């Protein structure tokens, strides 16, 4: 298992190094988000192919991790990188770091690679499980993944549709799921990770898989997710976004305040 994880780490470290080089002439560090999601998809599929677990379980984890990761990766590539200026979050990092930007961004890119290795633990645990048959816990994990994947797709589609209308430029999306949560995409992404952990729970040492949704929740609520996104929204949309924050749940979809 350690050897397989080591090969996976080498793949995503190389991937992030290549993307770091690609981002230099583009001057758009948001490509790291594409690499983060793509790396997870590659790890999930790679573990399933080389993990020597029960074939049907391997196919299930490859499909779940691959579909989720590839869909998210190319959504981020199309909405944040190709044809787009660098996001305010990364512009703010450039302003804060000031010096040695090349090395600091290289370290930032490679930290995402190492994070991929840690987060992919549920994929590795499930892909190494040789026990035949899927347990009720694994079926429950697959069902939860289906609901969460549909929710994330819906949230992203609603946001894209809102942004595609010229009259909405500079405004805050408050339609559909975004009426009940300021970050429904983040919420359903976290539920996707809960489904991965639940699926891995039936495998030996599967309880370790819950480290992944715990880390994702921490990063979403405290580090690079909601805090950074909302700082940028307040800088660009000011009073409208302040009112949105006062009435709308930050994470879990819920009824709006009066």
Domain closes at, from 101, 133, 165: 133
Using the 3D structure, point to which of 100, 133, 166 is the last residue of a domain.
133
Domain extent, residue 221, equals 134-258
User: Same structural domain for residues 120 and 42?
Assistant: yes
Asked whether residue 114 falls in the same domain as residue 165, the answer is no
Tell whether 87 and 155 lie within a shared domain. no
Decide which of 133, 149, 164 is a domain's last residue: 133
Residue 26 to residues 30, 85, 125, Cα–Cα distance (Å): 10, 9, 37
Q: What predicted TM-score, i.e. pTM, was given to this entire model?
A: 0.93
Residues 114 and 143 in one domain: no
In terms of domains, do 104 and 194 share one?
Answer: no
pLDDT at 169: 87
Is residue 93 located within the same domain as residue 164?
no
Percent of the chain with pLDDT strictly greater than 90: 83
Please give the average per-residue pLDDT across 154-169, as a whole number: 93
Mean pLDDT calculated for residue range 203-214: 96
Residue 124: how many other CB atoms lie within 10 Å = 26
Same domain flag for 55 and 168:
no
Average pLDDT, rounded, for the chain: 94
Task: Summarize pLDDT for 91-109 with one digit per residue, the tens.
Answer: 988 999 988 999 999 999 9
Both 62 and 91 in one domain: the answer is yes
83 and 141 share one domain:
no
28 with 114, same domain?
yes
Same domain, 60 and 146: no
Q: Average the pLDDT over each of 83-87, 115-119, 155-159, 216-220 and give the range with the smallest value.
A: 83-87
């Amino acid at each position: 298992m350690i050897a397989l994880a080591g090969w996976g780490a080498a793949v995503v470290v190389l991937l992030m190094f290549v993307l770091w080089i690609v981002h230099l002439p583009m001057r758009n560090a948001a490509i790291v988000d594409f690499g983060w999601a793509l790396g997870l998809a590659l790890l999930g599929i790679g573990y399933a192919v080389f993990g020597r677990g029960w074939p049907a379980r391997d196919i299930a984890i490859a499909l779940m991790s691959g579909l989720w990761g590839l869909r998210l990766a190319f959504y981020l590539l199309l909405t944040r990188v190709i044809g787009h200026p660098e996001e305010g979050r990364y512009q703010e990092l450039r302003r804060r770091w000031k010096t040695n930007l090349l090395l600091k961004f290289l370290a930032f890119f490679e930290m995402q690679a190492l994070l991929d290795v840690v987060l992919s633990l549920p994929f590795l645990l499930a892909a190494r499980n040789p026990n035949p048959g899927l347990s009720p816990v694994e079926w429950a994990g697959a069902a939860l993944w289906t609901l969460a994947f549909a929710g994330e797709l819906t949230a992203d589609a609603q946001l894209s549709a809102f942004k595609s209308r010229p009259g909405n430029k500079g405004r805050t999306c408050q339609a559909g799921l975004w009426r009940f949560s300021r970050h429904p995409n983040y919420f359903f992404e976290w539920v996707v990770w809960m489904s991965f952990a639940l699926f891995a729970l039936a495998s030996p040492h599967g309880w370790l898989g819950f480290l992944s949704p715990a880390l994702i929740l921490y990063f979403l609520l405290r580090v690079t997710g909601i805090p950074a996104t909302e700082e940028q929204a307040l800088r660009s949309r000011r009073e409208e976004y302040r009112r949105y924050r006062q009435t709308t749940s930050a994470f879990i979809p819920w009824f709006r305040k009066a």
